[in-house]
Each structure stands twice: as structure tokens, then as C-alpha cells.
Amino acid sequence: MNISENKVIDESIQGQALVLDTVKTGGKKLFLESYGCQMNFSDSEIVASILIDKGYTTTQNFEEADVIFVNTCAIREGAESKVRNRLNDFKRVKAKNPKALVGVLGCMAERLKHQFLEQEKLVDIVVGPDAYRDLPNLLDQAEEGHRAINVILSKEETYADLTPVRLGSNGVTAFISITRGCDNMCSFCVVPFTRGRERSRDPESIINEAKDLFARGYREVTLLGQNVDSYLYSGGGLKKETLTEEQKANSVTFAQLLEKVALIHPDLRVRFSTSHPKDMNDEVLHTMAKHENICNNIHLPVQSGNSRVLEMMNRGYTREWYMSRINAIRNILPDCGISTDIITGFCSETEEEHLETLSLMEFVQYDFAYMFMYSERPKTLAERKYEDNVPEPVKKRRLQEVVDLQRKLSGIRTEKGLGKVHRVLAEGFSKKSDDMLMGRNSQNSVVVFPKENYKKGDYVNVMVTECTSSTLIGKVIGKEETGQ
Ligand code: SF4
């Protein structure tokens, strides 16, 4: 849940039908709807790449689709019921076109495979996040009337050799996944169960993908992982926990990868998400300070401001450690934009402990936050060990207090941009008018300015003269001539 233009939004239930920029004629039609985090959207681009190789094209209209895939999120109960409703919508298609195939991909696949396939017979295919290479084979099985399922999690799979097909893209910014899975076992989180153990992708394949995107006119890449700070590539599929000190020394760390991507071209902006407070080191911060094209914004989920609750969440750091990381950011990158994730009402959280979350938000002065009330998830450590005993109305009230405080903090942070010149990468038209372009500054704040002769992909310097609670508005005072 986050605040955009003062509206509270929950991405996990926001489905998006993804289509190719250029629709190919002929070939079977694929309808691909994606939910949840950016990792899932990036996976949908891998799925599209595999099927387009097999002659499929994409459609926005599921009524005319031959194959309907829903890439699902299992992070909260709401996300799951939303997908179930959609699957019932798709039943209509099968009634009219019995040959049409419906499939569930992503994080719900592993958890609800039998329910979807056997009990509710809602789908023909169920595929987990590490088994997308098997899709063509599974589609053949389903076409022959067999139930097709593959939810095996892998310790190696990174899809490094596959070039994602950019779906619904603005042609300027793109995501590149650098790790898959997660080794942290935060007690409230399903990701380690639905996406498996963490593995880092070969840095050469990441750099080649970034170079290819730059050559195709993209001007910004975001390096993506559940915990980018624990990226460590040692080659040869060696497991992180088995590495000798010498092997570790010869491995590529996240800070080194960040520098390699930044050195591709000064006009290629680099962002990354998501960082982890227990692993984020000063080497990363100094690398950001060294390269102007590495953007000055860090997404550093805190989840709670109280050390006892953080320990129950198995986050691996205390309130004091987190604040020391914030101090390090403020010292090394003074104007860095910082955003976070917060959960209210976790098992046994007291009122005093909730107030510590509010006081920590005041201390950090976040630009932006994703805010949720605790939603117990099956199979997680918290579900097995702790009672979900904070009453719903209390969870809701605490969430509202966090949302209200963040709305105030976002306003303060946005106002700090007034009267300053911001280097903005134009991404496209503003939501409100085709006479205005929108882009973002290094801190990830949205900036809107008159279009004049500028176009998406341009770097422009904008003098900000006014703002809303989350958007900066200004006038271009000069276009940056880029090296290209
Ligand atoms: S770091 Fe924690 S919250 Fe994030 S994906 Fe891993 S287990 Fe989940």
C-alpha cells in the first residue's frame, strides 16, 4: 500500500494486462496479466520472451486469447482472492472456446497448485517462478488434455541467457533482475517458500542486458532483487555459504556490479531495489557517491521501529542498527531520497512499540513508503510460532496513523525540492496533459514540466516552482546534450 497523489494504493491486487509494444499478426494469442512486485513483472517479460519465441503474440483482450496466464502474488490474503475472482472471469472464455488454456504462474502456483488444478478445476496449467523454461512442454501437455504442473524451485535458475521482452514499456526505463529468491527468513514473509533460495546472476549477462537496452534507447535501468545487497557472484554455481575467503575475495559484490553497470555510459542512469539494512554496506554508498549516474535514492525497508518486534520478525537488525545505516546514508549521500516498507500490528506489537515506528519515521523523514497491516501467511515462521493477536481495528488504526504521518513527511520532502534545479530524465506525457512531460529526478521524485520541443529519453534541467504532496512542477531551463 502506498500514497500517490494522496490516494492509498495496494499494488498486490492491482493486476496489469501486459502486451508487446508492437503487436505481431498471426500466431496464437497470449493474454498475460501480472500482479504484485516488480520481480513478478520482470518474470512476465521472461514468460513473454519464451512464448514469443514459440510464435505467440500478445493481446489485451482475454476474450480472444488462446492462452490466458495470470502471474500471481501471494504476499497478502487480498492478493489471492483477487486472482481467484479473475480465474472465474476466465471461465467464460473456456465456455465459448473449450480449446483456450488458462494457467496460474508465480508465487501462488506453488502454494495452491492442487486447489486450482484438482479441487476447483479453475486452470489447466500451474507453473512456479523457476519453471518458466518448461512452459512450451506444459502447454503441449495441456493441449492434449493433461493437467500440466511444474512448481519445482531451483538453486541455479536465473534465466540469465534469456532476453526479457519489454511489455507495456515506456522505452526509457527498464528493470533488470540480478538475483532470484531470498535466503533471509523474515518470519512474516512467503517469498523464501514461493521463490526459493537466493542465487546471484552472472554479472556479464547483466552488463550485456544493460548495454543492449542503452543501445535501444533506454536511459535508465533498475537492478532488481529481493535483497540486492547480498548479491555475490562467484561463478561456477558455487554456494555463498561454502565460499572460502579467497573465493569471496574473487567474487563480484553488489558494489562492484553497480560500478560496472554505471561505467557502461554516463547517460545511463542506474537505480536498484530492494536493499536490506543488515547487509547494506558503506562500499555501496561510496560507489553511489562516486558515480553521478547512479541515482541518489535507496529503498530500505524497516518494517518496524522497535527492536523486540524486529527480532520476532527475524529481520536481523535492531532499531539502533537501522538508524546507524540512515546516518551513514545521510553522511555519505546528503541529498539521498529514502523510501521504506512498514508493517503495523505484527504479533504482540504493543502501543509503545507502535509509537517507536512513528518516531523512527520522524527520525528518517522518508520520501515515500509502502505501508501494510500485518497479514498472516500460511507456512511462514510467524504463522507457526506466533499468535496473530493484534485486533484488526487496532491494526487498521495504527496503519492509518502511519499513513497520515507519511503523507505529512512526503509533503515536507517534496517541498524541499522547491526553488531548485533538478536533472530530470523525461519518461513520457504527464497523466494530466499531453502538453506536459513527466520524468523523475535522481531522488526518484516525479517532476512535471511543459513539453515544448522535448521528448521522452531527454535529460533536462527543470527549475521547480511549485509542487503537490508528491509531484514537483517546473520549467525547463536547459536541455542536457547527451553523448549519443
Ligand atoms: S528480505 Fe525478508 S521480506 Fe524481503 S523477500 Fe526476503 S524474506 Fe521476504
Atom of ligand 1 nearest to the CA of 182: 6
For ligand 1, say whether the CB of 443 is within 6 Å of any of its atoms.
Answer: no
Give bridge partners of residue 425 from the DSSP assignment. Answer: 440, 459
Place of cell 521501529: 305
Q: How confident is the model at residue 168 (pLDDT cuts 50, 70, 90)?
A: confident
Q: Which residue has the higher pLDDT, 315 or 241?
A: 315
Give me ligand 1 centre to Cα 184, in Å.
6
CA dist list (Å): 375 to 190, 197, 229, 345, 379: 11, 23, 26, 9, 13
Q: Which residue has the higher pLDDT, 337 or 98?
A: 337
> Which of 119-133, 419-433, 470-484 shows the lowest mean pLDDT across its residues?
470-484
pLDDT at 6 exceeding the cut of 50: no
What is the arithmetic mean of pLDDT over 86-111?
87
Atom of ligand 1 nearest to the CA of 192: 7
pLDDT at 354 exceeding the cut of 50: yes
For ligand 1, say whether the CB of 186 is within 6 Å of any of its atoms.
Answer: yes
For ligand 1, say whether the CB of 227 is within 6 Å of any of its atoms.
Answer: yes
Residue bearing the CA closest to ligand 1, atom 8: 189
Question: What is the CA 99 to chain-centroid distance, rounded?
Answer: 34
For ligand 1, say whether the CB of 179 is within 6 Å of any of its atoms.
Answer: no
Predicted local distance difference test score (pLDDT) of residue 213: 97
For ligand 1, say whether the CB of 75 is within 6 Å of any of its atoms.
Answer: no
What are the pLDDT digits (tens) for 206-227?
Answer: 999 999 999 999 999 999 999 9
Give me ligand 1 centre to Cα 10, in Å.
18
pLDDT at 329 exceeding the cut of 90: yes
**What percentage of the chain exceeds 90 in pLDDT?**
74
pLDDT at 232 exceeding the cut of 60: yes
Predicted local distance difference test score (pLDDT) of residue 23: 52
Burial of 455 (0-12, 13-18, 19+ CB in 10 A): exposed
Pocket test of ligand 1: the residue of 184, 312, 372 to mutate, having most ligand atoms within 8 Å of its CB, is 184
CA–CA gap between residue 316 and residue 104 (Å, rounded): 33
Give me ligand 1 centre to Cα 181, in Å.
9
Predicted local distance difference test score (pLDDT) of residue 481: 56
pTM: 0.93
For ligand 1, say whether the CB of 150 is within 6 Å of any of its atoms.
Answer: no
- Domain ranges, ordered by start, for the chain: 3-150, 173-415, 421-479
Whole-number average pLDDT of the chain: 90
CA–CA gap between residue 117 and residue 456 (Å, rounded): 45
What are the pLDDT digits (tens) for 11-23?
Answer: 555 676 766 555 5
* CATH 3.40.50.12160 given to domain 3-150: yes
71 phi/psi in degrees, rounded to 5: -90, 110
> Which of 1-10, 46-55, 272-281, 429-438 shows the lowest mean pLDDT across its residues?
1-10
pLDDT at 5 exceeding the cut of 50: no
**What percentage of the chain exceeds 70 in pLDDT?**
91
What are the pLDDT digits (tens) for 362-407?
Answer: 999 999 999 999 989 888 999 999 999 999 999 999 999 999 999 9
Atom of ligand 1 nearest to the CA of 189: 8
CA–CA gap between residue 390 and residue 394 (Å, rounded): 7
Predicted local distance difference test score (pLDDT) of residue 81: 81
What CATH class is the domain 421-479? mainly beta
For ligand 1, say whether the CB of 230 is within 6 Å of any of its atoms.
Answer: no
What is the arithmetic mean of pLDDT over 350-372?
97
Predicted local distance difference test score (pLDDT) of residue 160: 94
What is the arithmetic mean of pLDDT over 83-90?
87
Pocket test of ligand 1: the residue of 227, 274, 300, 310 to mutate, having most ligand atoms within 8 Å of its CB, is 227
pLDDT at 121 exceeding the cut of 80: no
What is the arithmetic mean of pLDDT over 399-416?
95
Give me ligand 1 centre to Cα 188, in Å.
9
For ligand 1, say whether the CB of 189 is within 6 Å of any of its atoms.
Answer: yes
Give CATH superfamily name and number for 173-415.
tm_1862 like domain (3.80.30.20)
For ligand 1, say whether the CB of 382 is within 6 Å of any of its atoms.
Answer: no
CA–CA gap between residue 158 and residue 174 (Å, rounded): 17
What are the pLDDT digits (tens) for 237-276?
Answer: 666 777 788 888 889 999 999 999 999 999 999 999 999 9
Predicted local distance difference test score (pLDDT) of residue 115: 77
For ligand 1, say whether the CB of 333 is within 6 Å of any of its atoms.
Answer: no
Give me ligand 1 centre to Cα 383, in Å.
15
Residue bearing the CA closest to ligand 1, atom 2: 186
What is the arithmetic mean of pLDDT over 446-452?
96
Element (H, E) at 471: strand 471-479
Atom of ligand 1 nearest to the CA of 276: 1
For ligand 1, say whether the CB of 380 is within 6 Å of any of its atoms.
Answer: no
For ligand 1, say whether the CB of 277 is within 6 Å of any of its atoms.
Answer: no
What is the arithmetic mean of pLDDT over 185-201?
94
CA–CA gap between residue 144 and residue 140 (Å, rounded): 6
CA dist list (Å): 245 to 231, 233, 281, 432: 16, 14, 18, 55
Pocket test of ligand 1: the residue of 76, 226, 230, 311 to mutate, having most ligand atoms within 8 Å of its CB, is 226
What are the pLDDT digits (tens) for 135-166?
Answer: 999 999 999 988 899 999 998 899 999 999 88
